[in-house]
Structure 1
């Protein structure tokens, strides 16, 4: 739980305009220091190592926040499906399906939508018979 809180705060900080401006200033100062160090290998190694380490750590930070955001989105959609009377309740358990089953379901949804035409005001002009996807 501590990691999640720290990761969330770091992600907010890392994505802020101030942090971006700070990074640009650091790169600018590093570039200006080149003539002082005669653009030697150590001078180049400093920026290469720093950016590699920061990028490596940011991957984990981004993945953590992405997983959290995805979980939140899934929970919100699950709640919407749960309270909508016409929703297909079979959609609540999609996480348990394998890739082939998901592809088959996606194909069925494409077929459902192919025969429907929606007017500009949002009403369905032509509708195919609805399939009950709770029987998947």
Structure 2
């Protein structure tokens, strides 16, 4: 895993995230970041969580009587690996929209030494077993 802030490599041990709450857009001298990580770095814990999320979507859709994520239903609620291979855009959208906290908890250890806080996610792409995420961060002291 590599984390860059404004193009400079940063030790991931000082990176954490904030919860992206609805209606709360924080602008605090944000800096651009790029995070790259591999599929292997997600195994097995995040994959298990993603599979559980997809399974729960199926259960919820049946119980509610309506479909929250039609694309998942159209693909018959595949496991995460299948989704990543056959519909990588949907897989990365799920990671950004629903699984970002699980993803960041998996990649970044909670620490009181966090200096850089992920504030926004702009993109998440998957290609050749590697993910590339871009977005914005701010310095912990400014929050």
TM-score by length of 1: 0.30
Greater strand share, structure number: 2
Larger radius of gyration: 1
Q: Highest relative contact order (Cα 8 Å, sep 6+), 1 or 2? A: 2
TM-score by length of structure 2 reads 0.29
Greater fraction of residues in helix: 1
